[in-house]
Structure 1
């Protein structure tokens, strides 16, 4: 198995890194805030973690974080290295990262769908984009983390993640809006949700009612910002940003906020 440098040990990154280590992959990790490695081999810098690694995996918060790490790591990568970016940064930032890498260093974009629980158990859905030979090489690592959906060429995984997350976040906000409407019309929550759950909003209702997911509202707003300036998604993003006290709460809390 190839040596992996895993950069980013946040909510999702740490259980994913542990999953790879438990699967037998030799692993060195780095995180901006030290001391989160939980027994994994920790490097003092991303460049140190990447030294001698054939695979570099990034699971970082946003495009700026990925760019900052690339500035420290990219120029030192040897030809033949494969960078797998699992962050949610959108296709434009993914293309910028690809252009930043030296000749002979390949990139697979592989953001994920799922929360902290599935990250720990290998139950994520991995949206992978890249050249076929690079996807084949990445498959053992990605397959340890979940079900791999090959989306197409470079950038396609990053693009599909933004499409899917926009639909999901917008759907949860719409559930909150429709429940507020039901409240105003004197209808019970149980009745309204029961009917909505059996219709086109069934998936959004399930996510809105989830109590074991951990997708902070601030990250949902960040992802909608990557989607561009469509009027509906712009309005939802503004709603997500309206109450800073909810920033670290799971997305499902936005339903209660809308109904207040």
Structure 2
């Protein structure tokens, strides 16, 4: 089995790294804040972690974090190394990372949909983009983490993740606003939630009213920023940023915050 270096042991990264270790992969990990690795083999620096690795997996919070980290380990990569970036950073940042790689080093973009629970059980959805040969090589590793959806060439996985998460975050935000309107109009919350959960927005309602997920609002706002452009997504992001008190809470906290703010 190929030797793996896993960089980034946050909410999602640690359970993902543990799954790869449990699958039998020789694994070395690194995290910006040391001491989270437990019984996993932890390197002192990113360059030390990737030295001798066949596959490098990164799972970080945003484009800036990935770019900064890349500057600390890419020079240590040797030809034949495969880098799988599972962070949600969008296609532009992914293209910039790919352009800065040493000759002979390949990159697969493989951001995920799902929270900490699916990360621990291997039930994430993985959006994978890259050259066919690189995707073939990444597939066995990624299958230990979730259901792999091949999206196309380089950057395609990063792009589809932006589309999917943008729709979810904006929709949950709109649903929160609608529930605030229900309060103003005297519609009982239970009645409004029942109708919304039974209609076309059932999936969005399940996410907004559900428990057990751990997707911080600050990261949801970051993902909307990656989508750029249109007025609806921009407005939804502004709404999220206007409620810093829930920045570290799950996305399902948005409806309650909007109702309190009206």
TM-score interval (norm. to shorter): over 0.9
Structure 1 spans left out of the alignment, 5+ residues: none
Match of 2:216 in 1: 216
Match of 2:126 in 1: 126
C-alpha RMSD over aligned residues: 0.8
Query: Which whole-Å CA distance do the structure 2 matches of 1:197 and 1:135 have between them?
Result: 38
Query: Which whole-Å CA distance do the structure 1 matches of 2:243 and 2:196 have between them?
Result: 26
Q: Give the C-alpha shift of residue 203 in structure 1.
A: 1.0
Helix, strand or coil: the match of 2:211?
Answer: coil
Structure 2 spans left out of the alignment, 5+ residues: none
Q: Give the C-alpha shift of residue 198 in structure 1.
A: 2.1
Match of 1:58 in 2: 58
Query: Which whole-Å CA distance do the structure 1 matches of 2:179 and 2:255 have between them?
Result: 8
Helix, strand or coil: the match of 1:32?
Answer: coil
Helix, strand or coil: the match of 1:53?
Answer: coil
Match of 1:89 in 2: 89
Spell out, residue by residue over 1:186-229, the C-alpha distance to the aligned partner (whole angstroms, 9 max, x if none): 11112111221122211110000111000000000111111103
Structure 2 length normalisation: TM-score?
0.98
Spell out, residue by residue over 1:27-77, the C-alpha distance to the aligned partner (whole angstroms, 9 max, x if none): 000000010102100001110000000000000111111111111111221
Query: Which whole-Å CA distance do the structure 2 matches of 1:46 and 1:108 have between them?
Result: 19
Query: Which whole-Å CA distance do the structure 2 matches of 1:38 and 1:219 have between them?
Result: 26
Query: Which whole-Å CA distance do the structure 2 matches of 1:194 and 1:247 have between them?
Result: 27
Helix, strand or coil: the match of 1:144?
Answer: coil
Q: Does 1:244 align with 2:247?
A: no
Runs of 4+ in 1 over 3 A off after TM superposition: none
Query: Which whole-Å CA distance do the structure 2 matches of 1:132 and 1:229 have between them?
Result: 31
Match of 1:108 in 2: 108
Helix, strand or coil: the match of 1:252?
Answer: helix
Q: Give the C-alpha shift of residue 238 in structure 1.
A: 1.0
Match of 1:148 in 2: 148
Match of 1:38 in 2: 38
Structure 1 length normalisation: TM-score?
0.98
Query: Which whole-Å CA distance do the structure 2 matches of 1:20 and 1:210 have between them?
Result: 28
Query: Which whole-Å CA distance do the structure 1 matches of 2:62 and 2:76 have between them?
Result: 22
